[in-house]
Amino acid sequence: MDDGVGTVEGSPHPGLRPVVDASWRRAEQAHLDPAVAAPLVLDGPGLEDARRAHPIAAALPVIRQLLVRDAEPDSRVVVAVGDARGRLLWVEGDPVLRRRAESMLFVPGAAWAEGDVGTSAPGTALAIGDGVQIRGAEHFAQDVKPWSCTAVPVRDPETGDIIGVIDVTGGDQVAEPHVLPLLEATAAAVERELLIARLREARTPGGPRRERPRPAIAALRVLGRDTGELAGADGRTGTLSARHSELLTLLSWHREGLSAERLAELVYGDPASTVTLRAEIVRLRKAIAAIAPELGPLARPYRLGAPLETDLGAVLDLQRRGAHRAAIASYGGGPLPGSDAPGVEELREDVIARLREALLESGSADLLIAWGETERGAADEDIWRAALQALPPHSPRRAQVVARLLALES
């Protein structure tokens, strides 16, 4: 374990332990913004595929017995398991704390590698290949500073390669010295369980075969960005032009395919602009050839040649699972906020309508007020009326909500 005891003299981050200082430097070199939340990179089907394919899935009962059983209601502890890329696959434990953690996107499907959120226990443990504890203000991202966490990597018992990470997150108590040995023992138990299972399969004639991992698929990030970032299945990434971002976003949304006329209408507002569209599709194929050539796109109708995960799809998956707070937080400025393509505007309205309907059904005053304080919800009288109805009679927040309603009615 790297305790990172002491501080680094001459560091631009005085007072930070060496392990934390080094992590902050990596985050700054990557030009990460501490105000930006963790990105959602796996949607519903993609998340389920990643869970089924991951070897740690077979050892989840061990983790639950050693950690999650003691992290049930009132424990003030959340237990997370992620893959080698820092993508959280399982997040369990205290339900109240899990709901609070949604506000910083500490949810299944979110990416918590150092390259995504900077210094955090799961991401830094993966980066240094060792157990680590990160306390409060040592986190790089602003939203994570109220939390503390401890994490250890999990290795393949035969090759020694890192295959995942186990993390506990909560208040200061989860970064106490005794927590790290507990997680190290849990990781060792998981690795033993994986090895025993492999030996058992090898000795059993005609025994069950391990399911082959499903191939990784490309992912597109468009939330809060005017230009999308495309990541290929093999980890290659690239930033797309605004137009290519619009095309991939629309094709991923309309998975069944679109005629040339309909896609031209969604992109240019003119169904007759098919010649312009075809030329742009050719340029798009060339632009993504080195990142995710399997995407195509294909023609007649225009459609993607392979599945594409999007962070927008992950927002809707959160909403379907009832994680409304996380859905609101991750939606941010919405997909391609600078785009005025008619299809992108329709898409925004569709997602907004789904989120809004889910919030009204939730009856949660906190969530309704949180949405009402966003740009899209500020003038929504139905949201504010629902919030007023959901608040307890003597809540001090009723005055704020009534004032907002009076302002909207005047």
Burial class (CB in 10 A: 0-12, 13-18, 19+), 399: exposed
Contact 41, 88 (CB under 8 A): no
Q: Among 155, 85, 88, 80, which residue's Cα sits nearest to residue 115?
A: 85
Locate 218 and state its tokens: 């490309």
Give the pLDDT score at 45.
84
Q: How far apart are CA 281 and CA 244, in angstroms?
A: 8
Give the pLDDT score at 5.
52
Residue 296: CA atoms inside 13 Å, Cβ hemisphere, count?
A: 19
Q: How far apart are CA 291 and CA 233, in angstroms?
A: 8
Q: What is the DSSP letter of 410?
A: -
Each of the 410 residues of the chain gets a pLDDT tens digit; together they read 445 555 555 556 778 999 999 999 999 999 999 998 899 988 888 899 899 999 999 999 989 988 887 666 677 899 999 999 999 999 999 999 999 999 899 999 999 999 999 999 999 999 999 999 999 999 999 999 999 999 999 998 888 899 999 999 999 999 999 999 999 999 998 998 888 777 777 655 555 555 444 567 889 999 889 999 999 888 788 999 999 999 999 999 999 999 999 999 999 999 999 999 999 999 999 999 999 999 999 999 999 999 998 989 888 888 887 777 778 777 878 899 999 999 999 999 999 999 898 888 888 888 899 888 888 888 999 999 999 999 998 899 999 999 999 999 87
Mapped onto helix, strand or coil, the DSSP state of residue 275 is helix
Q: How far apart are CA 203 and CA 170, in angstroms?
A: 42
Domain ranges within the chain, ordered by starting residue: 18-203, 216-362, 363-410
Locate 21 and state its tokens: 């200082």
Give the pLDDT score at 202.
65
Helices (H), 105-178: 114-117, 121-128
Give the pLDDT score at 207.
53
Handedness of CA 24, 25, 28, 29 (dihedral sign): negative
Give the pLDDT score at 366.
84
The identity of residue 114, as a single letter, is: E
| Non-local CB neighbours of 81 within 8 Å, separated by 6+ positions | 56, 60, 63, 88, 89, 90, 164, 165, 166, 167
Contact 312, 335 (CB under 8 A): yes
Return the CATH architecture of domain 18-203: 2-Layer Sandwich (3.30)
Give, in order, the Cα–Cα distances in Å from 77 to each of 93, 168, 199, 239: 6, 7, 34, 37
Quick count: other Cβ atoms within 10 Å of Cβ 52?
11
Whether residue 271 is preceded by a cis peptide bond, meaning omega within 30 degrees of 0, is no
Give the pLDDT score at 100.
92
| DSSP 3-state percent helix, strand, coil across the chain (nearest 5) | 50, 15, 35
Q: How far apart are CA 150 and CA 166, in angstroms?
A: 8
Q: How far apart are CA 89 and CA 109, in angstroms?
A: 6
**Strands of the sheet with 308-310, listed across from one edge:** 237-239, 229-231, 218-221, 308-310
